[in-house]
Amino acid sequence: MNSPGNRVIIVGSGLGGLLTGFLLSKEGFGITVLEKHRKFGGCLQTFKRGKFTFDTGMHYLGALSPGQPLHNYWKYFGLSGKLNLLQMDANGFDRISFGSPDQAGGIVEFPIAQGFENFRERLLPFFPDAGNALKQYTATLQEIANAHPLYNLELPPSGYSDPFQRLLATDWLSTLDNSSLWNSLFPLCNSVTQKVSQRTTEEAQRGTEEIRLQDVLAGNGFLYDWNPKTTSVSQFGLINHAFISSAWRVAGGSQQIADILVEGIRSHGGEVLLKKKVITIRKSGETFLIDTADGDHFESSRLISGIHPAVTLGLFTDIPVQKAYHRRILSLENTTSVFTIYLGLKPGVFPYLNYNVYYPAPDSPSLDSPSPTLPNRGGSWRSSKGEGYLFMTPPEKGQGAFAKTAVIMAPMSFETVKKWEDSASGARDKSYFVFKARRSKELLELVYRTFPELKDAIATIDISTPLTWRDYTGTPEGSMYGVVKDANAPERTTIFPKTKIPGLFFTGQNINLHGALGVTVGAVMTCGEMLGLPYVMGKIRD
């Protein structure tokens, strides 16, 4: 049994739990991290299929160049300078693809480049009338970043309120309302919504007449579960600002991040324990009593949960929770899940692509037709542009000219696999595997249209669905990015690190933004609730 004393129990060893554990252990707290799986890291984990290694969820990182926000934060956590990083293509780390080889003009790729001036210059040939719009777009991204103190390692002033969290990104991008209010908030000129026009003859022949700049700017929305009805300007702006600042991959897999943080926790006297699935959380006075499935027992007056807030409350036994708070947490909508194909490739056949390809697939049959009674999620991924996918070739250490693996991801609602929700991994019936095979065939055929050479390069195929993601991460409905942050109701959908239950704190992607930078800032906020945010930020800046 562990003495409550100065001990802090952290449930979950994802990025949020490990960052929080590292910081608190460095400050002298006795840290115990409980992880239900046999491997720590959560979505940082890599996994093997034969001779091939794949990342689980952390595929690329933004703002990691020296002097940029994530680099500055991660210096404190011992990560900057220790990871095997590979900077992505400066002239197009993301390629937003439209069209089809069956259409006149074929497939057209729009580059999302690193560096704000370079970003504008690479898009301008496709949108020659949008020079002013692109300048004002990048200026507004900078304005959004400047308006968030913690993004810039600065303390929020007293009474700080996010000026962009109530504004819908889709309204900004499409400038639906050109009133003086909108013009004062977002001086983005109307050309942002114009179709490609007055292009060179070569560009005109590409068949891009129907592609709007706003479609391109929102084209990598799978990064943050873009939803035109909920995604705020803050969420859109901060994520895009970070990646345009700089974009990186971790060569050899993101497990490196978890390994460094766990080593740091242990070097400071903390412990990270595996196969410790928490089954109940009780309370005696001010002390949390935590029981695990293997019969172990832990006690602490402070508990930090890095798992989904609704799942956390579901572990409580006889702990009073305010009814309104409980209802709000349980009512929160979750972000989309994903259907993923992991490909092991034959050596020396398919080229390594130092960029990601986002393809909304305007003319393809839907891979995930939602029920008409359900909200249409995923923005441009399920809009008039149709379904799509994200294609990438993760790098190995010492990456050469050819890729060893490839990953294809397509958004998929949990409703698609709901009929099998009561089944367990490894014990699902034949119809589920028939479903997976059919969907993977459809998706691969779609990808082959852009990358025909991929077909003969495949050595192995593995598939995961929202059920896989749910069982692996423990997230309701296999949600990739936690709860939906709704610009229409920020008070209801914002989860703070300090909860209504004394001694309980949250960390992870649910409390701030998802992604490496969002979770890092969230972990700092969590530790700030225990140590004082000025103290924590002073330590990190020093």
pLDDT digits (tens, 9 = 90+) for 461-517: 999 999 999 988 888 999 999 999 999 999 999 999 999 999 999 999 999 888 999
- Residue 265: give its domain's CATH number: 3.50.50.60
Position 461 in a domain = yes
Per-residue pLDDT, 184? 45
Q: Are 22 and 73 in contact (CB under 8 A)?
A: no
Instruction: Collect all residues with Cβ–Cβ distance below 8 Å to 37 and sequence separation of at least 6.
Output: 45, 274, 275
Position 102 in a domain = no
Same domain flag for 165 and 234: yes
**Residue found under tokens 């002097």:** 67
Same domain flag for 233 and 267: no
Edge to edge, the sheet with strand 247-250 lists 61-62, 247-250, 85-87
Residue-number span of the structural domain to which 427 is assigned: 337-478
Same domain flag for 159 and 68: no
Of the residues 230, 247, 264, which one is the last residue of a structural domain? 247
Of the residues 212, 247, 282, which one is the last residue of a structural domain? 247
Position 105 in a domain = no
Least Cα distance to 77 among 532, 529, 516, 530 occurs for 516
Same domain flag for 219 and 265: no
Same domain flag for 378 and 470: yes
Same domain flag for 178 and 217: yes
Q: From residue 386, give the alpha-carbon distance in Å to each of 94, 362, 409, 503.
A: 19, 5, 15, 46
Amino acid at 539: K
Per-residue pLDDT, 181? 35
Residue 208 clears pLDDT 70, i.e. is over it: no
Position 302 in a domain = yes
**Count of structural domains, the chain:** 3
Position 101 in a domain = no
Amino acid at 247: A
Same domain flag for 285 and 401: no
Ranges 107-111, 387-391, 449-453, 518-522: which has the least confidence: 387-391
Same domain flag for 469 and 348: yes
Least Cα distance to 65 among 80, 44, 79 occurs for 80
Same domain flag for 415 and 500: no
Instruction: Collect all residues with Cβ–Cβ distance below 8 Å to 392 and sequence separation of at least 6.
Output: 59, 60, 353, 356, 357, 406, 407
Same domain flag for 473 and 523: no
Task: Please tell me the distance from the alpha carbon of residue 196 to that of residue 180, in angstroms, as a whole number.
Answer: 26
Position 93 in a domain = no
Residue 423 clears pLDDT 90, i.e. is over it: no
pLDDT digits (tens, 9 = 90+) for 302-322: 999 999 999 999 999 999 999
Token digits for 539?
């330590």
Of the residues 247, 270, 303, which one is the last residue of a structural domain? 247
Position 95 in a domain = no
Position 99 in a domain = no
Same domain flag for 462 and 488: no
pLDDT digits (tens, 9 = 90+) for 66-123: 999 999 999 999 999 899 999 999 999 999 998 777 666 678 899 999 999 999 999 9
Task: Please tell me the distance from the alpha carbon of residue 75 to that of residue 14, in angstroms, as a whole number.
Answer: 19
Same domain flag for 302 and 320: yes
Mean predicted confidence (pLDDT) in 309-338: 93
